[in-house]
Structure 1
Amino acid sequence: MNIQVVVVSFGCQEGASHWLQQTGCQYDMLLDPERKVYGAFGLGASLKKVLNFSNMLIYSEYVANDMEFPQELPWIQDDMFQLGGNFVLDEHGKVLFSHHCQSPIDRPSVEDILSAQ
């Protein structure tokens, strides 16, 4: 099976390049500044889902444990409320697996993703 992993971002080229460098992510990244791909996959934004108590507790644990977050570029405006997702498509574009994130830290397991057929 031939697999290609792609990260899709709604940000600008400079911000995307900075994020790739900060995180060490080595996957290809596509930019979707108009969020057409986000819309096509039904991905929305939510203040309530991003700033809920559970997420704030997890973030405070990161800070208390002195864990580093990727540094932002202060001159780039970002949308912290945009939610993402994980999708597996076949070579014809058919969606085999779909996960709409309910928070910034909500991700499916690797096993769930790899089991998509």
Structure 2
Amino acid sequence: MEKFREAGNGKLILCERGSSFGYDNLVVDMLGFGVMKQTCGNLPVIFDVTHSLQTRDAGSAASGGRRAQALDLALAGMATRLAGLFLESHPDPKLAKCDGPSALPLHLLENF
């Protein structure tokens, strides 16, 4: 963050997207949100919920996903007072060019 600030860019947002756990799984450590805020001068932190739900499908060029868990993860993240959420969405996720298995159908967005 220091390099960006030194270059005159103070408009920074941190984004948590998950960390690899094993070969096929991304996980988000909810404690990390507080660490990110404290160590980065209280910059806004957002959570890319749907990216963190991607899974690797062995032998496939595309990733899989667990969209059914999106609301639970979003609520858990917002309980840590995040600045916002990032959610992949599509009118019909099965037809999405990318991230369809973790994308949310548009009609579910009002839950957020």
Higher strand share: 2
TM-score where L is the length of structure 2: 0.24
TM-score where L is the length of structure 1: 0.24
